[in-house]
Chains A and B, each alone.
Chain A
Amino acid sequence: MKLFFSLLILLCFSGCIKEENEIKKQQEQVFFYKKEIPIIDEIWLKNKIAKRNGKILFVNFWATWCVPCVKEFPDLVKIYNENKSTDFEFLSVSVDLPMDIETKVKPFLAEQSAGFPVVVVEEKRSDEVINLINPEWNGAVPVTVIYDENGNRIEFISETKDYKFLSKSIERIKSL
């Protein structure tokens, strides 16, 4: 009987620790997005693409108001989590208005448990950013662009793609 109660207390205790860890994890996630999300322009982005340090660059353009972007977001979180410790850099570029960072972007990122770096495009530089990424692009989101380790644009994906497709693209570019 004593043994039974001891085991029960131990089980409850381990459950409490697990729950505490979960809360801690969530708090860390929220804390991450309490940090400032930079507002960037085409010069910032050009430098980011150029500074590769041997890593490929995966850039996703999205917005909280864009239904297909929101739909593909969990797959992007998965892509980041699975590749972050490899020669891979992930950049999430939100085209929400900078005034919506606190009220829309950060809550959405926390909800998605997204741990990747996020930047927001300065609205007045949209034209320049779009032309830097691809002169053929009209600005419709979502768009995913993958650069090789030399900063060459290898993939320009102008529609929603699933985890499997994106994973294959990354593996192909890593093996180039």
Chain B
Amino acid sequence: MLRKAAIILFFLVPLVVIAVFAFSNTDINHNSESPKIKIENFTLTDIYNEKHSLSDYNDSKAILIIFIATQCPVSNAYNLRMVELYNSYEDKNIAVLGVNSNKEESMNECKSHAESNGFKFPVLKDEKNVVADMFEASVTPEAYLLEPYTYKILYRGRIDDSRNESNVETQDLANALNEILAGKKISIVQTKAFGCTIKRI
């Protein structure tokens, strides 16, 4: 009788523990979950008609892709911060690429926007939203940090926690970049912020 009870308990206890764990944790911590999107190598043309593939940047420590827009006030609030990010991390072997997937923003518009804002990083035009679709990108500005070769997403989300630079308290993207450079595990892998919809074709 005692043996039977022990056997039942042996199977029952782990089941109860698993069930409690599975159903009690309804408030998921989204910030620690890795985005499960499969990114593959792609090739896009930049505003100077040069082709760029993800594989061109496999020798870097990480590839930073930022979905940007020329007409979105939220994305434009980050223009200077994007330039500063490039200046701070380009010489630390972080590849930086801007991607514009908005159907209403032409290559010419992207070119004059990039030049007037002093973007030194390549700005690629995603004419058919192929890259936006692959990344499941729907908002600007949004940053993606990729691992070279595998293109695994290491970080996805906002650049920092305020559109108003003077109110920034957490530099989420810079924190993730610094953790990569220090060989540490990225502590916050996903963040979200309000922004403009990417208008697809």
Contact = CB atoms under 8 A, between A and B. Distances in A.
Same complex? yes
Interface of A: 61, 63, 65-68, 95, 97, 99, 121, 123-124, 126-127, 130-131, 135, 137-142, 158-159
19 contacts: A65-B72, A65-B74, A65-B196, A66-B197, A95-B194, A124-B162, A124-B169, A127-B30, A127-B31, A130-B194, A137-B192, A138-B138, A139-B139, A139-B193, A140-B139, A140-B197, A141-B196, A142-B197, A158-B197
Nearest to B136: A138
Contacts of B139: 138-140
Nearest to B200: A159
Contacts of B161: 123-124
Contacts of A142: 197
Interface residues of B, number: 26
A127 B164 contact: no
Nearest to B170: A124
Given A65-B73, A138-B142, A139-B139, A123 B196 contact: no
B194 A135 contact: no
B2 interface: no
Contacts of B198: 140
B4 to A, nearest CB: 44
A127 B195 contact: no
A139 B192 contact: yes
B192 A97 contact: no
B60 interface: no
Nearest to B142: A138
Interface in B12-58: 28, 30-31
A123 B167 contact: yes
A142 to B, nearest CB: 8
B74 A130 contact: no
A137 B138 CA distance: 9
Contacts of B158: 127
A11 B147 CA distance: 77
Nearest to B29: A131
Contacts of B175: none
B74 A126 contact: no
Given A65-B74, A124-B169, A135-B28, A140 B195 contact: yes
Contact of B196 (A66, A99, A130, A159): A66
A126 B193 CA distance: 6
B28 A140 contact: no
Given A97-B164, A138-B139, A140-B139, A121 B194 contact: yes
B164 A126 contact: no
B120 interface: no
Given A123-B167, A130-B193, 7 more contacts: A65-B72, A65-B74, A127-B193, A138-B138, A140-B195, A141-B195, A159-B197
A131 B30 contact: yes
A141 to B, nearest CB: 6
B169 A68 contact: no
Given A65-B73, A65-B74, A139 B195 contact: yes
Instruction: List 3 tightest A-B contacts by C-beta distance, closest first.
Output: A140-B139, A95-B194, A140-B197
Contact of A99 (B31, B138, B164, B191): B164
B113 interface: no
B163 interface: yes
A102 to B, nearest CB: 15
A141 B194 contact: yes
Contacts of A131: 30, 192
Interface string B57-77: 000000000000001111000
